[in-house]
Amino acid sequence: MILSTLFFALVLGSGTLQASETDQPSLIRLPFVERVNSLGGFTKRDGYKSSLYNSHGNQYLVALSIGTPGQKFTVTLDTGSGDLWVPSTDCPALVCPVSRFDPTASSTYNTTDIPFKITYGIGAANGTYIKDTVTVGGVAVKQQQLALASYSTNIFTRMTTQGLRNTTANDAVPASGLLGLGYPGLTSTAHQKNGTAYTPFVFNLMQQNLIQDPVFSIYLNNVNEKNWAGEIIFGGVDSSKYSGNLSYVPVQQITATPSSANASSTAVTGYMFWVVYGQGILVTGGKGSTPNIQYATPLPTIIDTGTTLTYLPTPMVQAIVEAVAGPGTYQQDQSTGMYIVDCALANQDTTIQLQMTPSASSTSSPVVINAALKDVLMSDQSGYCYLAIAPSDSASPFGPNSALIGQSILRSSYMVFDMGQNRIGFAQTVFSAGSNSDGSSSTGTGSGTSSGSNNANGSPGQSGSSPSLVVSRVNALCSVLVVVIVTLYVL
């Protein structure tokens, strides 16, 4: 969730698979779906694994514990923010009807005087930062800085009223916080006036040599694979979950300036978001006459697992929907900015290819993500189908010329976030794959064409059917987290 996230979504759930204890750096492997993923050939060198919980196709959650003894939470996994935060017992149950952290029950708890405040598209949370032990997938970071929310406005309760299913009455695994995987420069303290960045959990794993390689990899799986279906690995990759080779593009440094309404914030320059250069979109098998849609110049593009939709400049989205559906066959929903299309397009052998370049110049060999059209369609409770790519000026805090790639496209790619070399690796995902973990992150190319299937049929056994993702129109709008309202400049 980059600067603004339409709504607080991404929950990491129970059923964590723990790696064997070891004195040497390893991997943390965590699943996302309601199934027990076999460790198979997973060894101590492979890192730490954890499942990701796919909650109704719009949230991915992971399980963790805080304190000594550990208090358990399932939190949203988010590459578009930097903080780990959960509600505290000071937050009234009326507004925080989820698991809450009790500082008095932890022997390793330490307080700070640093205030915490974060704002989302549907609400806000505030409190203070603390330091305590955080454990994910069997590895612990001691005295990790994180935030405790003593009050929340609409974050947890408004989800229920808007049909977003975030209480135990509607969902077996409710979200009870957020785990940001962004750079230290994306933490809330970095944007406070006279504030400084701190080291987030995932970067402490690297700096404290707790993982074999300074990477984490994310596998979201198909939208129809609910419950504990996805996976995150801290410290390595799983080659069974993608085809071809990993192809890398460098992360870009940016300058973020606060909005005039946020006088307490300050300008920040450096690595913050996982942002790369987008070059264009290629539509194959569509009904339009202009399938190759390129930017005039490459556009900084945020890779954000915490956002349901993908947001691109309005002219780009208009060109994509026409290339996919054909002229005169679609209409824009004015309440959401999304485009309503014929649901029969799910039966069409169409692929939307996102193209990325390693620099501010276009390349003839872009790194790509190939997404089957049926995996980029969403349906609401009234039976209307939407293209899950929306105009950025309809919801993005970056303005009309910004680009953010969310879950609707990222599900089709296996992603490796390389903290050591400041780059992201992409490969074509293999839906509902097994497990074949690899502790090495060296596989792949620095840039160029990503090998992999262009299969528009998505996951096995789904030919012709549209994804069973049912969302309200409000939900479709509410998937972008607001950390700080900023303007982005690539250095």
When pLDDT is cut at 50, 70 and 90, the band that residue 17 belongs to is very low
Average pLDDT over residues 127-140: 95
Mean pLDDT of the chain: 77
pLDDT confidence of residue 121:
66
- DSSP state for residue 391 in the 8-state scheme: E
Beta strand pairing call for 139-153 and 84-87:
parallel
CA torsion sign for 457, 479, 74, 93 is negative
pLDDT confidence of residue 337:
87
Digit-coded pLDDT (tens) for 86-101: 999 999 999 999 999 9
pLDDT confidence of residue 173:
62
Phi, psi dihedrals of residue 206, rounded to the nearest 5°? -75, -50
pLDDT confidence of residue 281:
98
CA torsion sign for 61, 62, 65, 66 is negative
pLDDT of 170 strictly over 70: no
pLDDT confidence of residue 200:
98
pLDDT confidence of residue 41:
25
Query: CA-based Rg of the chain, rounded to a whole angstrom?
Result: 21
Average pLDDT over residues 134-158: 91
pLDDT of 334 strictly over 90: no
d(CA 486, CA 484): 6
Least confident of 13-17, 173-177, 385-389: 13-17
| More confident site: 69 or 156 | 69
* Among the listed residues 355, 307, 372, 316, the one whose alpha carbon sits nearest the alpha carbon of residue 339: 316
Digit-coded pLDDT (tens) for 289-317: 889 999 999 999 999 998 889 999 999 99
Q: Which of 83, 171, 304, 418 is catalytic?
A: 304
pLDDT confidence of residue 2:
40
Burial 12-32 (b: 16+ CB within 10 A, else e): bbbbbbbbeeeeebbbbbbbb
pLDDT confidence of residue 33:
35
Q: CA separation (Å) from 372 to 264, 410, 464?
A: 43, 11, 11
pLDDT of 22 strictly over 80: no
pLDDT confidence of residue 264:
62
pLDDT of 406 strictly over 70: yes
Question: Where in the chain are the domains?
Answer: 28-490
Fold assignment, 28-490: Cathepsin D, subunit A; domain 1 (2.40.70)
Least confident of 69-78, 398-407, 438-447: 438-447
Digit-coded pLDDT (tens) for 55-65: 545 678 899 99
| More confident site: 17 or 419 | 419
Bridge partners of residue 283, in order along the sequence: 352
Least confident of 4-13, 226-235, 368-377, 396-405: 4-13
Digit-coded pLDDT (tens) for 233-278: 999 999 999 999 999 999 999 887 765 545 566 667 899 999 999 9
Answer left, alpha or beta for residue 326, where phi above 0 means left and psi between -120 and 50 means alpha. left
Known catalytic membership, residue 304: yes
Digit-coded pLDDT (tens) for 178-225: 999 999 999 988 888 778 899 999 999 999 999 999 999 999 988 777
pLDDT confidence of residue 480:
31
pLDDT confidence of residue 294:
96
Known catalytic membership, residue 78: yes
CA angle 129, 135, 141 (to 5 degrees): 65
- DSSP state for residue 473 in the 8-state scheme: H
pLDDT confidence of residue 488:
40
Peptide linkage before 174 cis (omega within 30 of 0): no
pLDDT of 133 strictly over 80: yes
pLDDT of 365 strictly over 90: yes
User: What percentage of residues in the chain have a pLDDT greater than 70?
Assistant: 69
Least confident of 160-169, 361-370, 398-407: 160-169
Q: Do 471 and 380 touch, CB atoms closer than 8 A?
A: yes
| More confident site: 75 or 162 | 75
pLDDT of 462 strictly over 60: no
Q: Which of 46, 78, 83, 418 is catalytic?
A: 78
